């Protein structure tokens, strides 16, 4: 990834210093803009591989800039960052095809992982198609790519930013496991296949609905998953996965049952609802 170009857009000089320190070890060309208008002028003059933009800025804010980038430089990837995290900010970022979303303060690891993923990932304009983008109801259709699952997990984690950290991480882990299963087993990681996903935030619960394009499954026929193991052989599924050439793992459904309050599958097995109840 040597020679990649990154534009940092933020009205806080300290953020530019911090990010340049974080990116100092990389062989990337890093430039700065102090607001959205300056960033847009730079983008009109020449393309960048990645734009890392704050939301709250004087003049053109980060979300308005994101929308303009989609018009003038549709292939440029954009990572949104903000200290003012709201569901409305998250859903606008998804609708306008941001690559990812980072809440401040962020760790060195979070920035590094996000930027590396963005710079190597081949993203299609229709990898994520938004059907509803309201803060309490988000519906998308996504291509069966594992990298897209990681992107959506980050966005949906931020939609639940008001939860306790432990609760948010548990529900995010459960959601990711179900989404990865839908892409891997239902869609066979075939980008021509698609998964439908809906997030609903009610007064008393958070609900995720996932429907994959596969034939479904029966819990009686899951020898490659830890949920099928007997108490005497808690890792028996690992041998099955090895024989089938499947990656290590198989704990997804078990983790989901542990972290979520309810997990309900359709009769066919290619639809699932995950529910997390909220404390009053």
Residue range 190-221, pLDDT digits in tens? 999 999 999 999 999 999 999 999 988 655 55
Residues 110, 230, single domain; the answer is: no
Q: Is 21 helix (H, G, I), strand (E, B) or coil?
A: helix
> The tokens of 155 are what?
């966005």
Q: Are residues 5 and 52 in the same domain?
A: yes
Q: Which of 103-107, 117-121, 222-226 is the most confident on average?
A: 117-121
Shared-domain flag, residues 135 and 274: yes
What span, in angstroms and rounded, lies between the C-alpha atoms of 42 and 46? 6
Residue 134 has pLDDT above 90, yes or no: yes
pLDDT at 246: 57
Q: What is the pLDDT of residue 237?
A: 43
243 in the same domain as 267: yes
Cα separation, 141 vs 210, whole angstroms: 10
| Residue 235: predicted pLDDT | 46
Both tokens of residue 10? Answer: 């933020």
My answer on whether 158 and 280 are in the same domain is: yes
Beta-carbon contacts of 14 under 8 Å, excluding residues fewer than 6 positions away, are none
Give yes or no for a contact between 143 and 127, defined as CB atoms under 8 angstroms apart. yes
Q: How many CA atoms lie within 13 A of 121 on its CB side?
A: 23
For 253-280, what is the mean pLDDT?
86
Rounded CA separation 253/257 (Å)? 6
List, for residues 32-70, the tens digit of each pLDDT value.
999 999 999 999 999 899 999 999 999 999 999 999 999
| Domain match, 183 and 91 both | no
Of the three residues 87, 122, 157, the one that is the final residue of a domain is: 122
Mark whether 112 and 134 lie in a shared domain: no
- Are both 96 and 131 inside the same structural domain? no
Average pLDDT in the 95-120 region? Answer: 92
pLDDT of 3 reads: 80
* 63 shares its domain with 174: no
In contact, 8 and 36? CB cutoff 8 Å: no
- Give yes or no for a contact between 216 and 278, defined as CB atoms under 8 angstroms apart: no
Q: Looking at the 3D structure of the chain, how many domains does it have?
A: 2
In which domain, by residue range, is 82 found? 1-122
């Amino acid at each position: 990834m040597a020679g990649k170009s990154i534009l940092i857009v933020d009205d806080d000089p300290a953020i530019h210093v911090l990010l340049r320190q974080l990116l100092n070890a990389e062989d990337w060309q890093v430039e700065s803009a102090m607001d959205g208008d300056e960033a847009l002028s730079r983008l009109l003059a020449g393309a960048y591989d990645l734009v890392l933009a704050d939301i709250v800025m004087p003049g053109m804010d980060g979300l308005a800039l994101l929308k303009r980038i989609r018009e003038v430089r549709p292939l440029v990837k954009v990572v949104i960052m903000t200290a003012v995290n709201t569901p409305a900010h998250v859903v606008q970022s998804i609708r306008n095809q941001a690559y990812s979303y980072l809440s401040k303060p962020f760790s060195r690891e979070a920035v590094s992982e996000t930027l590396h993923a963005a710079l190597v990932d081949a993203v299609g304009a229709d990898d994520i198609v938004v059907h509803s983008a309201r803060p309490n109801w988000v519906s998308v259709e996504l291509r069966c790519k594992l990298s897209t699952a990681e992107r959506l997990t980050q966005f949906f984690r931020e939609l639940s930013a008001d939860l306790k950290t432990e609760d948010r991480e548990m529900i995010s882990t459960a959601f990711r496991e179900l989404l990865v299963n839908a892409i891997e087993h239902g869609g066979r990681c075939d980008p021509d296949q698609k998964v439908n996903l809906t997030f609903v935030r009610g007064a008393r619960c958070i609900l995720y609905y996932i429907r994959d394009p596969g034939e479904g499954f029966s819990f009686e026929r899951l020898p490659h998953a830890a949920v099928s193991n007997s108490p005497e052989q808690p890792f028996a599924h690992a041998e099955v996965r090895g024989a089938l050439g499947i990656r290590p793992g198989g704990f997804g459904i078990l983790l989901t049952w542990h972290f979520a309050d309810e997990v309900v599958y359709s009769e066919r097995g290619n639809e699932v609802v995950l529910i997390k109840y909220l404390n009053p």
